[in-house]
Amino acid sequence: MNDTETFSPVLPDETEEATRRLLQKASERDLRLATAESCTGGMLASLLTDVPGVSHPFERGFVTYSNEAKNEMLGVPMALIEEKDAVSREVAIAMAEGALARSRAHIALAVTGFADAGDEPGLVHFACARAGRKTAHREEHFGPGGRGATRIKCMKVAVAMMTEML
């Protein structure tokens, strides 16, 4: 890859290779992928479009940083956000299922968390949805390592969850 146009300079090699394998497997199985991102701000969507020759399984990405965006773009009920908080298991699952329902993707990954501030810096909830399957959830406590470090760690988890859902 051309390092000036991708995340290659900052991503661990293992995450980059895992992303390539995910996209290759999705392509072989004719599966499309979508993302619903909050704390990662579109970084996962960018990563999934960085791999030359195999990025075509990526269907669309939703960057829903605000609660209103989660509600308007993904259909996450405001009452759920107010009751459980935007950084919660329930909201992550609703985001993933909303992205799946509002796209042509077969698999949708959602991520919401506190990248560098909030109630618990480094707390991130992931959810991965696929039609006909139970939506998977994962909670990570990355700790207060800073916004960039947390987002990079999120890429590894997100790619792994999508791969497991293939």
Instruction: Tell me phi and psi for residue 120, to 5 degrees.
Output: -145, 95
**pTM, entire model:** 0.94
Paired tokens of 8: 């290659």
What pLDDT is recorded for position 10?
75
Instruction: Please count the CA atoms within 13 angstroms of the CA of 93 that sit on its side-chain side.
Output: 12
Which CATH fold would you assign to the domain 13-165?
Answer: Maf protein (3.90.950)
What pLDDT is recorded for position 4?
44
Per-run averaged pLDDT (10 residues), the chain, 166 residues: 55 91 97 98 95 92 98 98 98 98 98 92 97 97 93 97 98
What pLDDT is recorded for position 9?
67
Domain boundaries, the chain: 13-165
Task: Specify which residues 107 forms β-bridges with.
Answer: 33, 130
Paired tokens of 13: 């090699």
Cβ atoms < 10 Å from Cβ of 132: 5
What pLDDT is recorded for position 127?
98
